Amino acid sequence: MTPSASQEPPGAGLGDRFGRVATDLRVSLTDRCNLRCTYCMPAEGLDWLPNPSLLTDAEIVRLIDVAVHRLGVTEVRFTGGEPLLRRGLVEIVRAVAGLTRRPRMMLTTNGIGLARLAEPLAAAGLDRVNVSLDTTDPAQFKALTRRDRHADVVAGLAASAAAGLLPVKMNAVLLRGVNDDEAVGLLAFALERGYELRFIEQMPLDAGHTWRREEMVTGAEILAALRSAYTLRPDPDARGGSPAETWIVDGHAAVGGGPARVGVIASVSSPFCGACDRTRLTADGAIRSCLFSQEETDLRGALRGGAGDEELADLWRKAMWAKPAGHGIDDPKFLQPARPMSAIGG
């Protein structure tokens, strides 16, 4: 990609020097989580962000309003940490659903508590969920997440489908020597229930900095395993800015009609940075142009200092204009960001 020579963002939206325009906003609602997945967080948790530094519900809605009405954002995904731990979640969703240019709203969650919340969230205006589940085996789940909550996640998935949060998508990370034999089993689980499964390559974003590229289970390996049991055809639907490359699973149907799909998000082995359309807001009010950015732009200070909407929009545009060309994981000088995935918003 060739950068534009201009030092300043030209348009009204969230363009960058490489011609990309961000329209998909990821909002982290908390850095806390009720699981302790070994590849994400240490057993004892992390030093959580202090409460006063967290954006309030009203501040979050205000910034989403700015993003939607002044910056061209059309999709909002709530994440964390674990977004279901945010008390005001249903009310935040309701408020965003009431915006004049209502964005599509999604939630990425570990599913614990979703059995109770799926219905109220759907009624408030949530469109869809992605539920993370790395194993079909309750004992493996307990070892991997350090919590015995497999049944809660399975119930949360079912409740999401019943509440019409369709398609229900499932996210799975495979770890070498842990659950790397589960690709086919996870797909069978998803197909039986009509969920759309996505495998995510493990990225260098763990709090313990233990990621090793040579240990990562690659997208190619996952596809080879799936092809041993299923016939996969390239998905004719355009990928667009979506991180997942998807395949049609021959002979299987999705809930609500149409063919069943499976996806692989090969962020490391097959980066899709050139088509990235994402912008991120952390729970403490910082804009990140990329999961792997070394830099962030604080909006909370300006917000609490009385900045108007256009001033906030301008800070946001400048932050996104500086978005790097790519995540640079393969660069020998690559540095893992200071914030782990749970504090950025995955």
Closest-by-Cβ residue to ligand SAM is: 346
Task: Decide: is 206 part of the binding site for ligand SAM (CB under 6 A).
Answer: yes
Task: Decide: is 346 part of the binding site for ligand SAM (CB under 6 A).
Answer: yes
CB of 222 to ligand SAM, least distance (A): 13
The backbone region for 108, taken as left when phi is positive above 0, alpha when psi lies in -120 to 50, beta otherwise, is beta
Contact 250, 312 (CB under 8 A): no
Give the other-Cβ count within 10 Å of 85's Cβ: 18
Cβ closer to ligand SAM: 20 or 77?
77
CB of 176 to ligand SAM, least distance (A): 13
Q: With CA atoms as reference, report the closest residue to 187 among 196, 178, 179.
A: 196
CB of 229 to ligand SAM, least distance (A): 23
> What would the x/- binding string for ligand SAM be over residues 127 to 156, using CB under 6 A?
-----x------------------------
Q: Footprint of ligand SAM on residues 274-333 (CB under 6 A)?
A: none
Cβ closer to ligand SAM: 85 or 313?
85
Task: Decide: is 171 part of the binding site for ligand SAM (CB under 6 A).
Answer: yes
Task: Decide: is 39 part of the binding site for ligand SAM (CB under 6 A).
Answer: yes
Task: Decide: is 202 part of the binding site for ligand SAM (CB under 6 A).
Answer: yes
CB of 93 to ligand SAM, least distance (A): 16
Query: CA 167 to CA 178: how far, in whole Å?
Result: 28
Size of the site for ligand SAM (CB under 6 A): 20
**What 3-state class would DSSP assign to 156?**
helix
Q: Footprint of ligand SAM on residues 72-111 (CB under 6 A)?
A: 79-80, 82, 108-110
Reported as half-sphere exposure (CB side, CA atoms, 13 A), residue 160 has a value of 33
CA distances to 25, 137, 246, 317 from 10, in Å: 20, 51, 34, 9
List the strands of the sheet with 196-200, edge to edge: 232-234, 245-253, 259-265, 196-200, 169-173, 128-132, 104-109, 75-79, 24-28, 278-281, 286-288, 297-298
Cβ closer to ligand SAM: 107 or 315?
107
Query: CA 145 to CA 104: how far, in whole Å?
Result: 30
Q: Which residues bind ligand SAM (CB under 6 A)?
A: 33, 39-40, 79-80, 82, 108-110, 132, 171, 173, 200, 202-203, 205-206, 341-342, 346
